Amino acid sequence: MADRPVLFVTRRLPIAVEARAARDYDAKLNSDDRQYDADALIASSEGAKAILTCSTERFSGEVINRLPDSVKAIATYSVGYEHIDVNAATARGITVTNTPDVLTDATADIALLCLLGAARRQHESTAMLRDGKWGRWEAASMLGVHMSGKRLGILGMGRIGRAVAKRARAFDMKIHYSNRSRLSPDLEEGAVYHERPEDMLAQAQFLSINCPSSPETVRFLNAERIALLPDGAIVVNTARGNIVDDAALIAAAKSGKVAGVGLDVYHREPRFDPGYLDLPNAFLLPHIGSATEDTRDAMGFRALDNLDAVFAGKPAPDALN
């Protein structure tokens, strides 16, 4: 239909999401999942009323200022939006939206997987099997760190942080957290609040990083703050890779200060510090926190819900500006 808004989709998305986009919009799909540079993003946006993008495409201020006047909305298929200059979009009158809520449970599940994988030495155990080195049972072999009853520090107690805490309580873990502001008692559910994150680190036998990336949190977990952790702590990051100082965390994992590391996110991914690959006590995943069919479909539908609202003349539920 000629009157449907043109929608430029920058990545190949799940079948159900692309089917809905093609049903409701004049969708320019990326069936080959080609990678767009800045010039190609701008050229491919010609005539589009909206752009459905992912965190892999960077809409800097320069790119946004060069977008065609036809573009009225950018919907990102992600919760994080640091790849989009929202201020530049606002100045151009372009609505920017994200997809909160729908990936909370999937990401929290991965955080627990990382906590358990790092604590129970999954990488070393699997290597033992694959290398044919599993032999006679030994009472003092492959001893990991017990999670139950331990103290879990959560940096960032938003939706995902609270979902991690909910799962951790099933292990009778004692929850400590640091957040930009203290939660209400009903959301806190008995967790211990620390206004200074450094005070929380001193309690964190396990640490789960769940805060957004911001100027205040970039390289937050550096050598000085790692030193505040109890000896033999387990460190997990399922938020953003740049919150961790890679060199400091790798050094701590090598020295034994940190007993295990569980990561699903990395600085400058998919390129990441190769030093992690040399750590036998690192449980590493390739950013699959939201990678379930249900979640990825829900993310796409949420993005399209936002665009539907924009073109219906209604406020987008997840507008960032």
Q: Sorting pLDDT into bands at 50, 70 and 90, what band is 21?
A: very high
Q: Is 267 a catalytic residue?
A: no
Instruction: Find the mean pLDDT for residues 94-102.
Output: 96
Distance CA 220, CA 227 (A): 13
Q: Is the pLDDT of residue 53 over 70?
A: yes
Q: Report the C-alpha gap between 100 and 288 in whole angstroms.
A: 16
Q: Respond yes or no: is residue 224 known to be catalytic.
A: no
Counting residues of the chain whose pLDDT is more than 90, the rounded percentage is: 98
pLDDT value for 36: 96
Catalytic, out of 269, 271, 293, 296: 269
How far apart are the C-alpha atoms of 104 and 67, rounded to whole Å? 32
pLDDT at 260: 98
pLDDT at 3: 83
Residue 126: how many CA atoms within 13 Å on its side-chain side? 11
3-state secondary structure the chain: CCCCCEEEECCCCCHHHHHHHHHHCEEECCCCCCCCCHHHHHHHCCCCCEEEECCCCCECHHHHHHCCCCCCEEEECCCCCCCECHHHHHHCCCEEECCCCCCHHHHHHHHHHHHHHHHCCHHHHHHHHHCCCCCCCCCCCCCCCCCCCCEEEEECCCHHHHHHHHHHHCCCCEEEEECCCCCCHHHHCCCEECCCHHHHHCCCCEEEECCCCCCCCCCCECHHHHCCCCCCEEEEECCCHHHECHHHHHHHHHHCCEEEEEECCCCCCCCCCHHHHHCCCEEECCCCCCCCHHHHHHHHHHHHHHHHHHHCCCCCCCECC
pTM: 0.91
pLDDT more than 70, % of the chain: 99
Model confidence at 1, pLDDT cuts 50, 70, 90, reads very low
User: Cα–Cα distances in Å, from 203 out to 87, 160, 212?
Assistant: 38, 20, 21
Banded model confidence at residue 284, pLDDT cuts 50, 70, 90: very high
* Candidates 176, 194, 240, 302; catalytic one: 240
Class in CATH terms, 6-102+293-311? alpha beta
The yes-or-no answer on residue 194 being catalytic is: no
pLDDT digits (tens, 9 = 90+) for 146-188: 999 999 999 999 999 999 999 999 999 999 999 999 999 999 9
* Average pLDDT for 34-58: 96
Does domain 104-284 bear CATH number 3.20.20.70? Answer: no
Instruction: Single out the catalytic residue among 287, 293, 296, 302.
Output: 287
Please check whether the two domains, 6-102+293-311 and 104-284, share a CATH topology.
Answer: yes
Q: What is the per-residue pLDDT for 2?
A: 54
pLDDT(26) > 80:
yes
pLDDT band for position 243 (cuts 50, 70, 90): very high
Ranges of each domain in the chain:
6-102+293-311, 104-284
